Chains A and B, each alone.
Chain A
Amino acid sequence: MRIGAISVCMFFLFLIEGTIAQVFAPEVWGLPWIIVPRFVLVGVVFIGLYAGRRKALYFGLFFGLLYDVVYTEVIGVYAFATAVLGYLAGLSSRYFHQSWFLVLVNVLLIVLINEWLVYQVYHLFNRASMGALTLLLKEMVPTTVFNTLFAMLIFRPMSKLMNKSRINQEIA
């Protein structure tokens, strides 16, 4: 398992979320949608599908915690959400095979659940408030579509990276 290469890759995704993706956020051009880049979560789903649910859990916990510390003030929300959803993605790999279509469906569902879960937790602690329909149309749908497209974009390099690490594992 090439944990090193995957970690570097994930950390890079984590950095892009807050820097490069924010320079090109849709609000900069005055568009009404909220598109949140969830690149780390997409990466964790890939790990869950290719490398197993345990690893997805650990990676999700670590990068979620990093996200909480660096980007937010309340610790725990993303650590919990990313870890649980990574594990969930890992579980679902048992029930169907890895084809690109199923990976994308997986990413789509997981991002959708993530948006809902994170919003509900913040809403519970009085940090976010938005009407249900506005939330769905302005935040959840654009974010999910964007991240699924992103998953499509990185599907080939990611699966290559993960598969290579799998072969290494088998040899070792």
Chain B
Amino acid sequence: MTNFFGNKRLIAILIGLIVLIAVMGATLKERPVPTWPERFVKDSVSFVQGLLYKPTAMVSGFFDDITHIYNVYEENKALKAQIDEHAKLEAEVNALRIDNEKYRQMLNTKDSKLRGNETYAADVIARTPDRWNNMLTISKGKNDGIEPNMAVVSSQGALIGRVQSVSAFSSQVELLMDIEQANHISALIQGTQNIYGVIESYDLEKHELIMRKIPKVKDVVVKPGQYVTTSGMGGVMPSGLIIGRVSSVGDGDYGLTQTARITPLANFYQIEQVFVVKRNFVVQPPPQEQKQKANKAKK
């Protein structure tokens, strides 16, 4: 036991630690397009993963269906009641749409540029096993037109995250729960008027998103139950993607703003298919070198 940590081993472990910290420091920053060996490994592993995930998800879906059969009667009754409502709602939506078109023509404004109008469907291939990195691998990549920072929605249409990095045939999606500096989302609460704020963090214990920087003005009233969508003001995310509903509201850290807690609509753990939404009008932050050049030019 005396030489359990002998001299040689201790030095090896220390060198290992130094290498670890150096490599981590080098790879810590945002990397939308990884280096080619990484892309190669990701693509080849994702091919094999795709063969495993899909069948398993189908089997588990089959068992889900069996449990659903038990609630069919109740569900049917509720849905029938909803269908009557639906017809009324559809008529209303149509009328509003026509009105909207008419007013737009009168005002001579075009469709909002901030909306996303192109979507790509993709299968989920794998998910990071640990919960410190919440990433999905999806089956479409650069060759299919996926680009970094595109918004990703679940098959029900609720926002689940954004594309973090792309390889040739697969890409990595960072889920909403993994919010860090680069992943803040500009959002709005649909009240009597649009209330803007920024979604900044995720509460892992209560499974709620936390939206900060909501103005604290007399007219701005946030109520639980209101819907939250993306605002499209963050640069790349299209506007109008639904995120969740407000569950509670409180004062911000310094009492100058309000903070809302949001229950996300998407289930982050049962995802088989996703849609990647592309926005046509993209504002990219200028690359670092250009910024430096601009600064030098100013001096």
Give the interface of A toward B (CB within 8 A): 15-25, 27-28, 34, 36-38, 66, 69-77, 79-80, 83-84, 91, 95, 118-119, 121-122, 125-128, 130, 134, 139
Q: Which residues in window 103-144 of B have CB below 8 A to A?
A: 125-133, 135, 137
B256 at the interface (CB under 8 A from A): no
B295 at the interface (CB under 8 A from A): no
Q: How far is the CB of B193 from chain A (nearest CB, A)?
A: 35
A66 touches B131 (CB 8 A): no
Given the contacts A27-B269, A127-B180, A76 and B128 also touching, CB distance less than 8 Å = no
Nearest residue, chain B, Cβ from A75: B27
Partner of B52, one of A20, A73, A80, A125: A20
The 10 closest A-B CB pairs, nearest first, are A18-B126, A76-B23, A19-B52, A128-B132, A27-B269, A19-B53, A22-B127, A71-B128, A80-B20, A17-B129
B56 touches A20 (CB 8 A): yes
Given the contacts A18-B126, A18-B127, A91-B4, A73 and B172 also touching, CB distance less than 8 Å = yes
Nearest residue, chain A, Cβ from B205: A134
A73 and B20 CA atoms in complex are apart in Å by: 14
B164 touches A73 (CB 8 A): yes
Q: Which residues of A contact B171 (CB under 8 A)?
A: none
B132 touches A122 (CB 8 A): yes
In addition to A76-B23, A125-B28, 10 A-B residue pairs with Cβ atoms within 8 Å of each other are: A15-B45, A18-B137, A24-B56, A25-B269, A27-B268, A38-B129, A70-B45, A75-B24, A79-B20, A80-B20
A73 touches B23 (CB 8 A): no
Give the interface centre of B1, B16, B165 by most chain A CB atoms within 10 Å.
B16
Given the contacts A23-B57, A25-B269, A76 and B27 also touching, CB distance less than 8 Å = yes
Give the interface of B toward A (CB within 8 A): 1, 4, 13, 16-17, 19-21, 23-24, 27-28, 31, 38, 41-42, 45-46, 48-49, 52-53, 56-57, 60, 125-133, 135, 137, 164-165, 172, 180, 204-205, 268-270
Q: How far is the CB of A106 from chain B (nearest CB, A)?
A: 15
Q: How far is the CB of B124 from chain A (nearest CB, A)?
A: 9
Partner of A37, one of B21, B27, B129: B129
B57 touches A66 (CB 8 A): no
A77 and B28 CA atoms in complex are apart in Å by: 11
Q: How far is the CB of A83 from chain B (nearest CB, A)?
A: 8
Q: Which residues of A contact B28 (CB under 8 A)?
A: 74, 125
Q: How far is the CB of B261 from chain A (nearest CB, A)?
A: 17
Given the contacts A15-B48, A15-B49, A73 and B16 also touching, CB distance less than 8 Å = no
Q: Which residues of A contact B27 (CB under 8 A)?
A: 73-76
Nearest residue, chain B, Cβ from A65: B41
A38 and B131 CA atoms in complex are apart in Å by: 12
Q: How far is the CB of A116 from chain B (nearest CB, A)?
A: 13
Give the interface centre of A27, A36, A66, A74 by most chain B CB atoms within 10 Å.
A74
A28 and B129 CA atoms in complex are apart in Å by: 13
Q: Which residues of A contact B17 (CB under 8 A)?
A: 80
Give the interface centre of A36, A80, A83 by most chain B CB atoms within 10 Å.
A80
A36 and B52 CA atoms in complex are apart in Å by: 18
A71 touches B23 (CB 8 A): no
Given the contacts A19-B49, A23-B53, A84-B13, A71 and B133 also touching, CB distance less than 8 Å = yes
Q: Which residues of A contact B24 (CB under 8 A)?
A: 74-77, 121, 125
Q: Which residues of B contact A77 (CB under 8 A)?
A: 20, 24
A27 and B269 CA atoms in complex are apart in Å by: 6
B135 touches A72 (CB 8 A): yes
A125 and B27 CA atoms in complex are apart in Å by: 12
A125 and B38 CA atoms in complex are apart in Å by: 22
Partner of A73, one of B4, B46, B49, B133: B133
